[in-house]
Amino acid sequence: MTLKTPQQYIDDIRKMKIDLYMFGEKVENYVDHPIVRPSVNSMAMTYKLAMDPEHEDIMTAMSNLTGQKVNRFTHLHQSTDDLVKKIKMQRLLGQKTGCCFQRCVGMDAFNAVYNTTFEIDAKHGTKYHERFVEFLKYVQDNDLAVDGCMTDSRGDRSKSPGEQPDPDAYVHVVDRSKDGITVRGCKMHQTGLINSHEILVMPNNSLKDYEKEWAVSFAVPLDTPGIVFIYGRQSCDTRKLEKGSIDVGNQYFGGQEVMAIFNDVFVPWERVFMDGETDFSTMLVERFAAYHRQSYGGCKVGVGDALIGATQAIADYNGVARASHIKDKIVEMCHLNESLYSCGIACSAEGRKTASGNYLVDILLANICKQNVTRFPYEIARLAQDVAGGILVTMPSEKDFTHAQIGPMIKKYFIGKSDISAEKRQRMLRLIENLTMGTAAVGYLTESMHGAGSPQAQRIMISRLINLTHRKNLAEKLSGIQENKEVDWQ
Amino acid sequence: MTLKTPQQYIDDIRKMKIDLYMFGEKVENYVDHPIVRPSVNSMAMTYKLAMDPEHEDIMTAMSNLTGQKVNRFTHLHQSTDDLVKKIKMQRLLGQKTGCCFQRCVGMDAFNAVYNTTFEIDAKHGTKYHERFVEFLKYVQDNDLAVDGCMTDSRGDRSKSPGEQPDPDAYVHVVDRSKDGITVRGCKMHQTGLINSHEILVMPNNSLKDYEKEWAVSFAVPLDTPGIVFIYGRQSCDTRKLEKGSIDVGNQYFGGQEVMAIFNDVFVPWERVFMDGETDFSTMLVERFAAYHRQSYGGCKVGVGDALIGATQAIADYNGVARASHIKDKIVEMCHLNESLYSCGIACSAEGRKTASGNYLVDILLANICKQNVTRFPYEIARLAQDVAGGILVTMPSEKDFTHAQIGPMIKKYFIGKSDISAEKRQRMLRLIENLTMGTAAVGYLTESMHGAGSPQAQRIMISRLINLTHRKNLAEKLSGIQENKEVDWQ
Amino acid sequence: MTLKTPQQYIDDIRKMKIDLYMFGEKVENYVDHPIVRPSVNSMAMTYKLAMDPEHEDIMTAMSNLTGQKVNRFTHLHQSTDDLVKKIKMQRLLGQKTGCCFQRCVGMDAFNAVYNTTFEIDAKHGTKYHERFVEFLKYVQDNDLAVDGCMTDSRGDRSKSPGEQPDPDAYVHVVDRSKDGITVRGCKMHQTGLINSHEILVMPNNSLKDYEKEWAVSFAVPLDTPGIVFIYGRQSCDTRKLEKGSIDVGNQYFGGQEVMAIFNDVFVPWERVFMDGETDFSTMLVERFAAYHRQSYGGCKVGVGDALIGATQAIADYNGVARASHIKDKIVEMCHLNESLYSCGIACSAEGRKTASGNYLVDILLANICKQNVTRFPYEIARLAQDVAGGILVTMPSEKDFTHAQIGPMIKKYFIGKSDISAEKRQRMLRLIENLTMGTAAVGYLTESMHGAGSPQAQRIMISRLINLTHRKNLAEKLSGIQENKEVDWQ
Amino acid sequence: MTLKTPQQYIDDIRKMKIDLYMFGEKVENYVDHPIVRPSVNSMAMTYKLAMDPEHEDIMTAMSNLTGQKVNRFTHLHQSTDDLVKKIKMQRLLGQKTGCCFQRCVGMDAFNAVYNTTFEIDAKHGTKYHERFVEFLKYVQDNDLAVDGCMTDSRGDRSKSPGEQPDPDAYVHVVDRSKDGITVRGCKMHQTGLINSHEILVMPNNSLKDYEKEWAVSFAVPLDTPGIVFIYGRQSCDTRKLEKGSIDVGNQYFGGQEVMAIFNDVFVPWERVFMDGETDFSTMLVERFAAYHRQSYGGCKVGVGDALIGATQAIADYNGVARASHIKDKIVEMCHLNESLYSCGIACSAEGRKTASGNYLVDILLANICKQNVTRFPYEIARLAQDVAGGILVTMPSEKDFTHAQIGPMIKKYFIGKSDISAEKRQRMLRLIENLTMGTAAVGYLTESMHGAGSPQAQRIMISRLINLTHRKNLAEKLSGIQENKEVDWQ
């Protein structure tokens, strides 16, 4: 059986001994750390739903490598239908967790490394693809969570990796031996990293011929010696340390961003998937980015569903749900959210088969998708705050509500429609705060902006992929500048 | 052979003897009327491209009724792939004509009437579907252009058809005999009507039980006695009457909007596809609207391509194409245009099989698509005007440019980059004027707003189709208001 | 001397003995509480700048009541120039504090109560105005901070005060004696309330004739017996409790929102400024709202300046400030911010003298101003996050950076341009986080949405104040529907 | 008496013998040409309203040169109050004409040339200011309409005037004699040029030291020999040639754009206001641009009022004015329009006295104003089309409505609410078409984009005038990067 239970997954992670720091202190049992645990839960949800018969069709797939049913997060897309189901799976997870559930990066990396290594081997006669297939079988057989690591620290942005004063600004090979390679550098903004069994590293950008040391891709277990992890702060993160279940907004689930420093980490050759092929770094980066830009058309839509639901709920609780302007704002939120979903579906449905056999999204449309994700969630969040009311940011703390003396006084003045308890309003407002300003806003807003590449990165891709010459020709024909034989009907 | 040549099509239309008025005068040979002809050419283009091997795959299909290759405009969608190809066909036509090519309404009506009559018959034991199939075989065999007619004149908008002071405000049955029915009323905003062989009439909206006379669908040839046609005016329409080929903007192609008054028109029973089944008027209207809202995610995108091309061209001619703000504006135009396309693709890819066997788009996403079409083309047009420069609206007329004395003076001052002739700039600016203010703006802007239903109609459908209760439940679980068993991993 | 030093102000507040709760605990020395102190500092800044000769012209004014120089926050506007200077003062304070500095509400209440009581007395022969003038002289002479209290808890929003199941849903008179009145109820969302010497209460909305008990305005010292205060939570509030000066974002300044419960509070007659004049509740509410909607065209612009500065700084530190898209985004931020400022200036410059002699803003334009404030700061914040980069939400904590072992590792990878320290980037990113997601976002975003009335409140006022009949007449003349004699030149 | 009647003005213009071409033909009596006449009427309206006691305060002013009451269009602004009244006058004219009334350019040129020549003389000891004052007294005494001419044909945009292959790409001095100068070149996009008595020419842009021949400003009567005028085409211009009063949309008023070619035109010295002072070309251009960017915050708002009125009217006629989405769209139109007005007011109220004594607007805010004008009218127009309905672009022609046979049929189907005639709907729809796609759209949309400088020109000015260093300092203080002594209260 290749599907793990959520509990098995959590047990796996609990066994990891890693060098992790948070708030200036070393963290030992991070799985049960109250700041980390909600993010573990989110990842665990990717295991749980895969076992749910209701969601089996979109959560699992038949592996082309092993012939077994696998969690779709470890699957190589075999059709556009698979690409579409990926989006639906992500939307479902976003709905169920209300935050970033972290397992997409690995899935997107699998697919990009798979088809790129195939093309590297075809050109260079290397054996990366074969090695990668072995690695991926291992992942599928054991239902592993894997983090795809791409973004380097990057030093001076105006210089390429080989020109940096500090060569470590990008992860690179510092030594090679008959057993493997040794790498150094730092990967930043790593989503769900310490909730993963394995790390799959990729280069960050296009490379020049001589920058071979930076053209490196490999996988290592999370607990490989030499990696130092530092947990990233999030808005309102320490609310998770407070007692109580309300002010935290979402007591169950959360995201996770980690910085990983590779201090001369050894990687055996069977885990090296690229080493020096600078001519393929662009392909790998663009394909990974395209898959990941597609992803945002699923996951953020799911979170958007949760935020729309919260907005509808608070409107109901406040007794204003029938006001025409409220209804119209909620329609607008839905419209924007479904527009994002449409973009996620479109780049999937328009995908194509690669030389390796797996399917790649339509790269142009995936960039269109992500570009919209850098805009619409902000407007959806703004509308949610509009509907929620100012109480969103002036409400007393949970502890005040339960205080023996003042609690009843506060509650007296929090009664709106008579059948709605003060606590219901509290809980829903805190969820909206969480999604628009708190820990989940990190994923829903700022990560929507920068994850899978900042807006300008998409614009550059769009300008590269749009054929303006073709369009100019259309116009020159219609205007009569170029001869237009098309209306010569004979 | 079921595919007509464009010339055969034009010859067909030329034979029509209809009661047509324009500018207060009866028009006899309307096919060769300079105001009408460009719209005939647009429709002819749907014939021409179907014969082009390069476009065969998207322009034609195998009929499920006859087993023959037919023009896709007469096809019943047999798969989501067919729905996607429909969008691609429409984008292609929009690119080639730079305007509304008019044949979509019929295609959308075919598919909606086909699957709705199937369900009427299933419930009521009628024979509409069989009749309709016969009609459609005739259409396919003869490669006919058919206009779908839905929008009535509607009188007082606050009243339903049966409550109107004038019952003719909506097309209705005024008589029935053993041979057929007689209908009266007026259909407005009929796109490409007089460029069609046949007219397929549908009811306009939901009907109450007693409003049986208004629940009527039928087809008649264009030249059926009793129909009066009045040609609609468009911005800059009379430029087509001027000599010269420049100021008209697009000398080849144009759209067409016609008002059709049915003065007691007789329809034989074999052409009646609904007569009194008020319980199916909503289904027919919503399905037709959904197909047609999908359509806008193809055709307007194609016109957008032409406008983007014109904008790139004028930027080149003006020597400003490398300015970063110009490039960024063109990227934005492309981004918006591809966002519309994504919506068109998404509602197609997510389509589903109906009881009758043909495919229906995802209705929610089709409404999302159209809602965006009521916005983005306006912004694309605004950006085009930004890039084009003020000369767009201050340029002398074509005749001034060719005047013996002042022509050379004007041209001297119209030289920008030395290798670009004044005429090139003239032509491209006039095309942009045509698309953003002139005859083509009618189709690209105002029709994008109101065609297939005004924006509020889509918002009503969105609010109806979005399951807010489901989303509210998601939020209530995440906030802890409803019990959340999902994180109980055991 | 009527101007207090900031230290004198702080000493005043420190003397207050009030019944304050926060996080379920009673707070005694709240002035030095780390969560409260930054908000005290903001208020103190209104005192400090008034003593600075550089800002004397905009920070102070000559009192029309006492002939003395007073802090402009206690001044009655004597001209449109005074109204414009108010805006400039608020922009300055926003720039200096980067948050809400809280003293505006009192100033706006003074001016509204002043001119409304004048009109009440003129109609009803009451003496409220005289009493209020005495109160205001006392405020000016002692340079007091006063909070204007308007928003009630409001219970069921669909019912007016007199119809509520619980009459206390709106503050109202529960008893009258020869010495004064006794009031009960709750005022919510009170900005800077416990940083004030006095509280000036006003009714919340239009009242029906019989709702006399709710038509009440009065002033009491902060430490009047019977008032219970509960401190409102803000996103990231507890970062102020952490050691260190970086992660808090803005270690100096902050806003404050407090809930105040009036448990049968006694008010002597000389402090009662309205008691039962339901016919003037609308005027008082609309005028206060207008002044306060004007205010947002100053204060939020100042905070916007700080955010723009932070964005420019991080762009510089990241070495991307010369990229054309970065420059363009910063221009856009400035454009939006100055558009808000223009609205603040316009409603001020178009102000008019009231019957009482002080000046009122143009109410329509003040509503336009506030409506834009519910939109543009969100877009400015979005652009700031765009420029800042994803590191905004993934950065390790301050303590990690200073950790003996991992601190140097982290810093190594935070070096961008070589002359910029990791700490500089840290500090600037935390400030942007503070302004776009943290404690200051409460004021800059959500309060911009709801403070001084939610967006729909402004739309209702706009629709009421715009003369659509006049505009319709213009159109009917131009279209020839109404006779147009205006082109009869003779 | 310095105020002319409209008829006197028209008589003046009728006397002009100029070399004018339109549609490739020489036009003799252009005042009575149906395409030109509506634009003459617009200009005449500036005369008519000045004589109307109701509008005297904003339409006239006391001249600082002559001590006489003059039309404000010829006035030098003596205060910020004058600047504000200018905006109100422009809004009034926009309301009354529904289009561009053309006289602003001259007013803006007067004020810019007045204060710039003062500063030229102060530096260079020249006598331009004195000459210009004489010219302006003549203008005021005779109540002349004067067109300010700035925009050159500009050839290759990447080259400055002195680098052009053709030196005539910018108007320049080709000869000097003891009597005066001779100039050559072409001024494009000249608003209302042939409705003016005089032409006031200014240089187009910043100039290098050696480009002295292009640093030229002067005034000549319209009928000065050597100038060739070519009338610019507008969308739907030839509807004015049709019989009938409806389809033209606005039968009374229109705008005008003309190209003027200066074929070696002689200018006597007393009419030369700059000749070679390249160091002042930037000042003159920026000041004129600032005044003119302010203007758009008045005139376009007035046209917006007319369009809002038309939208309200058609909503009434269609019987949908009470639908909440219709009301909300009209509120949004008003909100955007008043936002523009606020910008117009703000840059006026924040104006300052120049060395010459007249007042200059706040240049930054004037650019903010214009930048918004490049956006909001497009959205207002889009909303107008939304409310108007699709009939806006499908309606039969006026002649069809009056046709003996089909007219009654058409009218039967144009009855909406029973008390509204078909003609009323026709007229209002044609006015909206005129304003959003027709001749008036030229002024309301495209000219809003490009008049007084294209959007990017404003962005460049904004980036130049915003002090980002100051803002960066604010942020560095708040973040603790720079020492912040401001919270040291002692």
Residue C286: its pLDDT value, please?
Answer: 98
Among candidates D397, D451, D459 on the partner chain, residue whose Cβ is nearest the Cβ of B390:
D451
Residues of C in Cβ contact (< 8 Å) with A239: 238
Residue B490: its pLDDT value, please?
Answer: 65
Residue A58: its pLDDT value, please?
Answer: 97
> Taking 80 as the threshold, does the pLDDT of residue B1 lie above it?
no
| Residue B400 maps to a domain | yes
CA-CA distance, B487 to B477, in Å (whole number)?
11
Convert the pLDDT of each residue in B68-92 to its tens digit. 999 999 999 999 999 999 999 999 9
C324 interfacial to chain B (CB closer than 8 Å): yes
Q: What is the DSSP string of C349-408?
A: HT-EE-TTSSEE--HHHHHHHHHHHTTHHHHHHHHHHHHH-GGGGTPPPHHHHT-TTHHH
- Interface probe for C, chosen from A394, A400, A447 (most Cβ of C below 10 Å), is A394
Residue D1: its pLDDT value, please?
Answer: 61
Range of lowest pLDDT (A296-300, B153-157, D20-24, D328-332): B153-157
Nearest CA distance, A258 vs chain C (angstrom): 7
Chain A residue nearest residue B305, CA to CA:
A471
Annotated binding site of A for FAD: 191
Q: Which two tokens stand for residue B49?
A: 């491209």
For D218, counting Cβ atoms within 10 Å of its Cβ (0-12 exposed, 13-18 middle, 19+ buried), the class is buried
Range of lowest pLDDT (A123-127, A225-229, D162-166): D162-166
Mean pLDDT for the stretch of residues B30-58: 97
Among candidates C239, C389, C451 on the partner chain, residue whose Cβ is nearest the Cβ of A390:
C451
Residue B394's domain comprises: 284-470
CA-CA distance, C190 to B342, in Å (whole number)?
47
- 73-102 in C: which are within 8 Å (CB) of A? none
Q: Do residues B23 and B228 touch, judged by C-beta distance below 8 A? A: no
Chain D residue nearest residue B158, CA to CA:
D319
Q: Is B309 close to A251, i.e. CB distance below 8 A?
A: no
User: Structurally, how many domains does chain C consist of?
Assistant: 1
ipTM, two decimals: 0.97
Q: State chain B's maximal CA–CA distance in angstroms.
A: 92
Range of lowest pLDDT (B209-223, C150-164, C251-265, D231-245): C150-164
Residue B102: its pLDDT value, please?
Answer: 98
Share of chain B above pLDDT 70, in %: 100
Mean pLDDT for the stretch of residues B142-152: 97
Mean pLDDT for the stretch of residues C321-335: 97
CATH of the domain at D318: 1.20.140.10
Q: How many CA atoms lie within 13 A of C10 on its CB side?
A: 22
- The CA–CA distances, whole Å, from D8 to B305, C407, D3, D13, D254 equal 52, 84, 10, 9, 20
- Interface probe for C, chosen from B320, B324, B326 (most Cβ of C below 10 Å), is B324
Convert the pLDDT of each residue in B291-311 to its tens digit. 999 999 999 999 999 999 999
CA-CA distance, B148 to B219, in Å (whole number)?
9
> Taking 90 as the threshold, does the pLDDT of residue C415 lie above it?
no
Range of lowest pLDDT (A96-110, A148-162, C333-347, D265-279): A148-162
Residue written as token pair 């091309």: B309
D328 interfacial to chain A (CB closer than 8 Å): yes
Chain centroid, CA A48 distance in Å: 19
Residue written as token pair 């029906």: C208
- 175-214 in B: which are within 8 Å (CB) of D? 186, 188-189
Q: Which two tokens stand for residue B259?
A: 């008002």
Convert the pLDDT of each residue in C274-289 to its tens digit. 999 999 999 999 999 9
Mean pLDDT for the stretch of residues C459-467: 97
> Among residues B323, C304, C371, B394, which one has the least CA distance to residue D455?
B323
Residue B467: its pLDDT value, please?
Answer: 97
> Taking 80 as the threshold, does the pLDDT of residue B179 lie above it?
yes
A335 interfacial to chain D (CB closer than 8 Å): no
Chain B residue nearest residue A480, CA to CA:
B427
Convert the pLDDT of each residue in C66-125 to its tens digit. 999 999 999 999 999 999 999 999 999 999 999 999 999 999 999 999 999 999 999 999
The neighbour count for residue B179, using CB atoms within 10 Å, is 11
> Taking 90 as the threshold, does the pLDDT of residue A2 lie above it?
no
Q: Is B428 close to A468, i.e. CB distance below 8 A?
A: no
Q: Do residues B439 and B237 touch, judged by C-beta distance below 8 A? A: yes
pTM confidence score:
0.98
Low-confidence ranges of chain D (pLDDT < 70): 1, 490
Q: What is the DSSP string of D245-267?
A: SSTTS-SS----EEEEEEEEEEE
Q: How many CA atoms lie within 13 A of C122 on its CB side?
A: 10
Residues contacting residue A76 through CB under 8 Å, at least 6 positions apart: A63, A64, A65, A110, A111, A114, A136, A357, A358
Residue C485: band (very low, low, confident or very high) from pLDDT cuts 50, 70, 90:
confident
Q: What are phi and psi of D143, to 5 degrees?
A: 50, 55
Residues of B in Cβ contact (< 8 Å) with C323: none
Q: Which two tokens stand for residue B327?
A: 């490039």
Mean pLDDT for the stretch of residues C351-359: 98
CA-CA distance, B212 to B277, in Å (whole number)?
7
Q: Is A84 close to B349, i.e. CB distance below 8 A?
A: yes
Residue B441: its pLDDT value, please?
Answer: 98
Q: Is B7 close to A253, i.e. CB distance below 8 A?
A: no
B335 interfacial to chain C (CB closer than 8 Å): no
Residue B325: its pLDDT value, please?
Answer: 98
Residue A106: band (very low, low, confident or very high) from pLDDT cuts 50, 70, 90:
very high
**Cα torsion B250, B252, B253, B259: sign:** positive
Beta strands in C243-357 (DSSP E): 257-268, 272-275, 352-353
Residue D24: its pLDDT value, please?
Answer: 97
Q: Which two tokens stand for residue D439?
A: 């001749």
Mean pLDDT of chain C: 97
| Residue C152 maps to a domain | no
Residue C2: its pLDDT value, please?
Answer: 84
| Residue D94 maps to a domain | no
- Interface probe for A, chosen from C264, C446, C448 (most Cβ of A below 10 Å), is C446
A263 interfacial to chain C (CB closer than 8 Å): yes
Q: Is B437 close to D412, i.e. CB distance below 8 A?
A: no
Chain A residue nearest residue B430, CA to CA:
A479
Q: What is the CA radius of gyration of chain D?
A: 24
Residue written as token pair 């005939």: B40
CA-CA distance, B120 to B275, in Å (whole number)?
11
- 4-43 in D: which are within 8 Å (CB) of C? 5-7, 10, 41
Q: Do residues C228 and C188 touch, judged by C-beta distance below 8 A? A: no
Identify the three-state secondary structure at position D234. coil
Which DSSP state fits B395? P
Residue B419: its pLDDT value, please?
Answer: 82
